[in-house]
Structure 1
Amino acid sequence: MAELTTIARPYAKAAFRFAQDAGVTAQWENMLALAAAVSEQPAMRAWLQQPQLTASDKAQALLEVCGSDALDEPARNFITQLAEYGRLALLPAILELFHELLAAQDAFVDAEIVSADVLEEAEVERLVSSLKQRLGRDVRVTTRVDASLIGGVLVRAGDTVIDGSVRGRLARLAEQLNS
């Protein structure tokens, strides 16, 4: 994975610089997300791995599946360049790196809040406020429910993991008892 990231980094930086200069970073992130999602589909992945296809054939197929109005001309050119250099498989890594560059520029962090039950909006807002204060950045949050937590919440924000779940507490207690 580290090798893919290393190879993808210059492409992500080039795409980001272009989007930043044009003032369309959010649109480019969406276009890259679409192209990456399409390229990760098993049928498309199998198609793109056929050695008898030309780079042009691969780019055209990916662009057709993405849709003619979903990608602007510079994005289509970017996809074509990736195909010419045999780098279409890097689209998911390019998207991830592009998102990291965007997060650094806009000073935000993505956070995931996992809870045992559906959280009320006020509870989510309190958690987001606490995270903003703790991390010193804006927080973009997604929530999901995982009943196996039993109770409480698990928060993942960048490299920070805050485990306030009952399952986590029980695991820590069992670890203390075993040591």
Structure 2
Amino acid sequence: MIEPTTLARPYARAAFEHARAAGDLAAWQAALSELAAITAEPKVAAAMRDPNQTAAQRAATLSGLAGDAVPSAVANLLAIMADNGRLSLLPEVAMLFDQLKQAVESTVAVHVTSAYPLSDAETQQLAETMQEKLARSITLTSETDPSLLGGALIRADDLVIDGSVRGRLNKLAGTLTQ
């Protein structure tokens, strides 16, 4: 079976090239992110699989749910994806579009999961350190997960830095069981 990312890649690339030519990358990124979030909802996902709806109705439903967030060119992409039975790939298309946009802008998304909320100073210091380490501009997002016990887990592209207490305990447990 073909991976969803592989199926989504041509749609993402075509959308990206069109958006870049039109100078509208930000609007496309916002629209695709909104549509990906909408299709992630279980009720919407079920409606998109309803055999009683035509492809045009599915695309129109998604456009309607997103409201003003969907420019006409994005609505055209939805219609094409609906005709090909690929609306379920919208989260992958949005992710790949973001990656293409970041590559062109020489930015990288850094996601930090910490055991406690980071202060503004900690966030700023972490952003500066990661920008130096990656030698690229970054966009930093963060979330809190108390199950980490302490420390943080940092993800940027393929790089994962696990400085969490939970990660250290898991590593220690693995060493002890060998």
Tell whether the structures are fold-level matches, with TM greater than 0.5: yes
Q: In the alignment, what sits opposite 1:54?
A: 54
Percent identity for Structure 1 against Structure 2: 42
CA 1:145–1:2 in 2, change beyond 3 Å: closer, same or farther?
farther
Structure 2 residue ranges without an equivalent (≥5): none
Distance 1:28 1:80 in 2: 15
SS of structure 2 residue aligned to 1:53: coil
CA distance in 2, matches of 1:41, 1:146: 23
**Where do 1:38-77 residues align within 5 Å?**
38-67=38-67, 69-77=68-76
Q: How many residues align?
A: 178
Mapped to 2, the partners of 1:123 and 1:98 lie a distance apart of 30
Q: Which residue of 1 aligns with 2:35?
A: 35
Give the match's secondary structure for 1:118. Answer: coil
Alignment correspondent of 1:175: 174
TM-score by length of 1: 0.91
Q: Is the alpha carbon distance of 1:167 and 1:44 closer, same or farther for their aligned partners in structure 2, counting shifts above 3 Å?
A: closer
- Give the match for residue 18 of structure 1: 18
Distance of 2:46 and 2:169 partners within structure 1: 44
Q: Normalised by the size of structure 2, how large is the TM-score? A: 0.92
Q: Deviation digits for residues 124-151 of structure 1, max 9, x if unmatched?
A: 1111111111111111111111222222
Matched, 1:150 2:149: yes
Question: Which residue is 1:89 aligned to?
Answer: 88
Structure 2 residue matching 1:13: 3-state secondary structure: helix
Contact in 1 for aligned 2:35/2:62 (Cα 8 Å): yes
SS at match of 2:3: helix
- SS of alignment partner, residue 160 of structure 2: strand
CA RMSD for the aligned pairs? 1.6
Following superposition of structure 1 onto structure 2, how do residues 79-158 of structure 1 map, counting pairs within 5 Å?
79-158=78-157
Q: Which runs of 5+ in 1 are unaligned?
A: none
CA distance in 2, matches of 1:113, 1:2: 31
1:9-58 deviation line (CA, Å, top 9, x unaligned): 11110000010011111110110111222222222221221223221121
Q: How does 1:157-168 map to 2 (within 5 A)?
A: 157-168=156-167
Work out the CA distance in 1 between the residues paired with 2:163 and 2:73.
Answer: 45
User: What are the superposed Cα offsets for residues 74-106 of structure 1, whole Å, 9 maximum, x if unpaired?
Assistant: 111111121122221111111111011011111
What is the DSSP-based 3-state SS (H/G/I as helix, E as strand, rest coil) of the residue aligned with 1:112? strand
The amino acid across from 2:121 in the alignment is: A
Checking the alignment, whether the CA contact within 8 Å between 2:30 and 2:69 is kept in structure 1 is no
- Answer yes or no: is the 8 Å Cα contact 2:148–2:167 preserved in 1: yes
